[in-house]
Structure 1
């Protein structure tokens, strides 16, 4: 069983841009959710797709299972999305032995930028780059699932744009 151990932060400034190694564009939708679980589908760069199952209430450590699926299947699953389809560019920034994934949202959440750092253990203490802002690891408002499926949250954080065309 795979474990996802990650911390999440708001991004304070553009300092991360100088360190970008790779960038991918994501369309991301949730097709099933519960208090302690979710099933997510992603289309990455319009060329590949993944189905992800996450289990657990802890926002720092969760069980995670990921599988490649055909893009056509992902497009069909997105038609059944709960809430909105998230649009984002994911930039990978290596910093002192850790990779920070900086998500720059488009569409409904245009202007929101968050960064996650995945860790091998809860004991890891990555050095934090100066461009990071407030930590939001335990703040459910910044979980992608909540952003996609919670109408009240969408109104609070979002900018009111519609779903992207598939």
Structure 2
């Protein structure tokens, strides 16, 4: 089983000049509880099903498989519009690493998150100047929670 090892940060608007060509992502959650998540995602003209297991720090098990676009669209249609996450994902290079910068739309308009995937949890990563507070362990910034439509209070600790 694959491991996802990532750190997540709030991003500031200073990243926007680095965001050139993005991919529209629309995702909905078919199942989520305190430990497991099953997500369907449309990324441009492709669709994916993803299962994520319990998170421990920056690490969690993840299995993702591409599915036919029609299947992804049918599964996504079962998720109410107000319970989907819509964002544009940009790939931004900094100090030899690639960051995924998500600029959210709809009810989450104004929220920007940056994630970096790592080979191991204690990997040293050069942090760009456009990062804000780290939210890796803050449950409010899990996409499955954001899909419930509540914008986290960006000023809360």
Question: Does residue 157 in structure 1 map to residue 156 in structure 2?
Answer: no
For residue 55 of structure 2, what is the aligned residue in structure 1?
A: 57
Q: Report if aligned partners of 1:54, 1:64 keep a CA contact under 8 Å in 2.
A: yes
User: 1:98 and 2:97 equivalent?
Assistant: yes
Q: Could you tell me how far 1:18 is from its partner in structure 2? A: 3.6
Corresponding pairs, count: 152
Q: 1:104 and 1:124 mapped to 2: Cα distance?
A: 26
Distance in 2, matches of 1:59 and 1:148, equals 22
Please name the residue that 1:70 is paired with. 68
RMSD of equivalent CA atoms: 1.8
**Matched position secondary structure for 2:140:** helix
Q: Which residue of 1 aligns with 2:23?
A: 24
In structure 2, C-alpha distance between the alignment counterparts of 1:123 and 1:22, rounded to whole Å: 30
Alignment CA distance shift 1:142-1:114 (3 Å): same
Question: Is the contact between residue 107 and residue 151 of structure 2 (CA under 8 Å) also seen in structure 1?
Answer: no
Following superposition, the deviation at residue 108 of structure 1 comes to 1.5
Task: Determine the structure 2 residue equivalent to 1:164.
Answer: none
What does 1:1-166 align with in structure 2 at a 5 Å threshold? Answer: 1-14=1-14, 16-20=15-19, 22-45=21-44, 47-81=45-79, 84-149=83-148, 154-157=149-152
In structure 1, list runs of 5 or more residues that go unmatched: 159-166
- Please give the alpha-carbon distance, in whole angstroms, between the structure 2 residues aligned to 1:26 and 1:156: 18
| TM-score, normalised by the number of residues in structure 1 | 0.84
Runs (4 or more) in structure 1 with deviation over 4 Å come to: none
Instruction: After superposing the two structures, state which structure 1 stretch, 85-94 or 55-64, moved more.
Output: 55-64
Q: CA deviation at 1:75?
A: 1.3
The TM-score normalised by the length of structure 2 is 0.89
Shift of 1:156: 4.4
Is the 1:109–1:157 contact (alpha carbons within 8 Å) kept by the matching residues of 2? Answer: no
Cα shift at 1:59: 5.0
Separation in 2 of the partners of 1:102 and 1:56? 23
